[in-house]
Amino acid sequence: MDVQIRHTPSFAVARCTLTGGETMRAESGAMMATSDGVAIEASMQGGLVKSLKRSVLGGESLFITTYTAPASGGWVDCAARLPGDAVLATLNGSQALNIQRGSYLCSESTIEIDTKWGGFKNLFGGEGGFLIRATGSGEVVASCYGALDRIMLSAGEKLTVDSGHMVAYDDGVTMNLRRAASGSLTSLKSGEGFVFDFTGPGEVMVQTRNPSELITWLTTVLPFSRQ
């Protein structure tokens, strides 16, 4: 599968070009368009229990859609729900990518998508406790809200990220949660809640907008919120 991402960084679309008979998988509802003859099938990948884990715990759809190119080949365009960028990551079989809830977009059929417990630190950080874990060999596309920063940390190098701005990180990176400011009153005054402290080596992906902040803002301005 060859992936080209266009319309970045505000309205990214990932075009996945397939050879004859090649398959790929995408989050349900991610398809924008396909070339003629591409077969589409929605199913619960890995069975009911694994699909429920991915849906209820990982924040993704119960179903994953599989696309199969005709003998002449074809392409599939995938786009995220929120406006923003998309990032292509290549896994070599010996590594994994941990993706925040709702950011998995699509991948090669050789990539295994499962749910990983991120620990109570991730739960209290506002990300739901569980992460999507991508393993195997091949291409994975993740989406974000806003533009994307890819930060490579050397061994022992540290990075602090607001919990709502984290998109994904490598397995080699360790993560810990803490309050942004010491003391509950100080945190309230600063307008920040929890942050993640990442320690390298490995890559951390960060989004420039926070979906939770969008929801908070919408609830203050929409008519039903004032009733």
Structure tokens at 147: 């533009």
pLDDT for res 45: 55
First to last CA, the chain: 50
State pTM to two decimals.
0.80
Helices (H), the chain: 47-52, 120-122, 184-190, 211-221
Residue listed under structure tokens 């990075």: 159
> CA-CA distance, 26 to 47, in Å (whole number)?
16
Average pLDDT, consecutive stretches of 10 residues, N- to C-terminus, the chain (227 residues): 96 98 94 97 58 44 82 98 95 91 92 72 48 93 96 97 92 87 49 81 96 86 66
Residue ranges of the domains in the chain? 2-221
As given in the structure block, the two tokens for residue 64 are 């994953």
The CATH fold of domain 2-221: Double-stranded beta-helix (3.60.160)
Question: At CA 148, angle to CA 60 and CA 163, rounded to 5?
Answer: 60
